[in-house]
Structure 1
Amino acid sequence: MTKTNRRTFLLDFEKPLYELEARINQIRELAEENNVDVSEKIVELENRAEQLRQEIFSALTPSQRLQLARHPRRPSTLDYIQAMSDEWFELHGDRGGYDDPAIVGGIARLDGRPVTILGHQKGRDTKDNVVRNFGMASPSGYRKALRLMEHANQFGMPIITFIDTPGAWAGVEAENRGQGEAIAYNLRQMFDFEVPIICTVIGEGGSGGALGIGVGDRLLMLEHSVYTVASPEACAAILWKDAKKSDRAAVALKITSSDLKELGIIDEIVPEPSGGAHSHPLEAAALLKTALLENLEKLSQMSPGQRQELRYQKFRRIGAFEECLE
């Protein structure tokens, strides 16, 4: 990424770190031009930069994590597929006359093992986002996803899904074409598949749009991703009639990976490189690949019946609570 591009996509809380790194680069360039040895000073500043990076990214608020999850340079489904898989063959269409670009999927090899991978796909710029509908899938997208998963189940291939959407497309046309039915049908069918299913929230997991490909034996989340029933902006608008109170809503909704792990909603937090996945995408892909392979190995040792029961009990526990009487 060029310096100009990085500055364009810089988040407010990243600015102190960016300024320090820019200073380090400036000192290094001046030292090379004047043939001056400033290696000790560079090491000191780099240590300070790493310390600052740790301080910033270890104390992010829910709203700041949401900003990271929505970062324009955050790796997408296709980025992870290309970085992790040995082979990749994309499949298109829902066999009903549509091919929704907001969901991509196909057949791949992960360390030589055939798998089916699918997920939401956002764009890199405004033009691409319009084509991808900002990762908001239509009914045809969920039907395409189901077709691919049924193919995987038929041929005994594990299913890996990547969740990254603000929600399903809520347009009138989507409702006319059966958006709710498409998502509900996916939920039912995913509970019945016999092959291992691993779902990972790689960015923003929003509402039923995330659930449409989110029923699995294991649910993982990247460290700085978010998973929520509604966006903080929508929640604030509904509860307090003011979308500007989204920071308050983000705290109340418990959208972060640490919150959801504590609540038992997710099974594992996949660490991100220091500075977030967008700063070191290949390292982020390597960490995710390791987590997927480890979980896949454990799930492969179970029988189909055991996996189905695990899946069922996992989602039955979500939302359970105990009432304490004083």
Structure 2
Amino acid sequence: MANLSVDVVTADYRNPEHARALELTLNWHAKDPCGGGAPLDQSILDKIVGELAQVPYAFSVLAFVDEKPAGLVNCFLGFSTFAAKPLVNIHDCFVMPEFRRCGVVNKMLLHVEAIARERGCCKLVLEVLAGNLPAKGAYLKFGFAGYELDPALGGAEFWQKKLALVPEVVSVGATEDDVTTAHVDYLDAESGQSLKLMLGRYAEDPCGGGEPLNQTILDTVVGELAQVPYAFSILAFVDGKPAGLVNCFLGFSTFAAKPLVNIHDCFVMPEFRRHGVGNKMLLHVEAIARERGCCKLVLEVLAGNLPAKGAYLKFGFAGYELDPALGGAEFWQKKLKPL
């Protein structure tokens, strides 16, 4: 079967054949142990393609073998604040069991990478379960690796907080009443300066890489964010001084057929830590997510960043896990170097 002819296309969500293939492969993905082991609700299958067609930052890649649906990759555009460039998040990557080890996944990923390069993206990112060894092997072969800044801090883990219909009561810090937060207006000069200050300090922090950002990035990042319709940022202030920053990007959950919020950066200035700054910013983010009909918040956190993990746990986040035997989800990336 290794020599089968594999055809790969960018899905047209308005094409009935593509829509049926997407629904079929997505449901098989859900039924697979690495997708949760249970079929999707019919109401999700009935509307998923229509919902994807309404998401301007979405695209999907389908693979066919002898005109039979063989694989699916669902992708969503994101953004790298440290590079001031877009990226592609590979949200789903699935190959039908009978077509595995036939080069299907490699061909789909090549198609995704070509689209990413056309759109000026700096990297591809994805989440993979720690125990999904076949997938990890395929991703390694394609050039992916676990996201890591410092071996002492470990790799990045993928966490989530599902948004219940009724918000949970989250405890506040002793001094949280002194913290104010604001939804950033990227066109406001003062807000832009505060964002650049916070982002630069975050990059210099060990959990941000420990090195200053290139001045070119700092000079362009706010303007670039202003061009990203699925971006929003929250700034925190203590006594009028910038104290924290959260940069967020809308994503999408294909298994829920609803948007989500990816918390891309979450940083608090060292002198304002343990003052409830992070908690208040996350409350603001969650309020925006609920207003936009999102089903959950997601983020990546370094395995060794124990203070951050403690704060996220307290806020209701947990590591993404489907089956303890497969472990939690790891965050991986492939940087796209010039050809």
TM-score (norm 2): 0.26
Question: Which structure carries more helix by proportion?
Answer: 1
Ranked by relative contact order (alpha carbons within 8 Å, sequence separation 6 or more), the top structure is 2
TM-score (norm 1): 0.27
Question: Which structure carries more strand by proportion?
Answer: 2
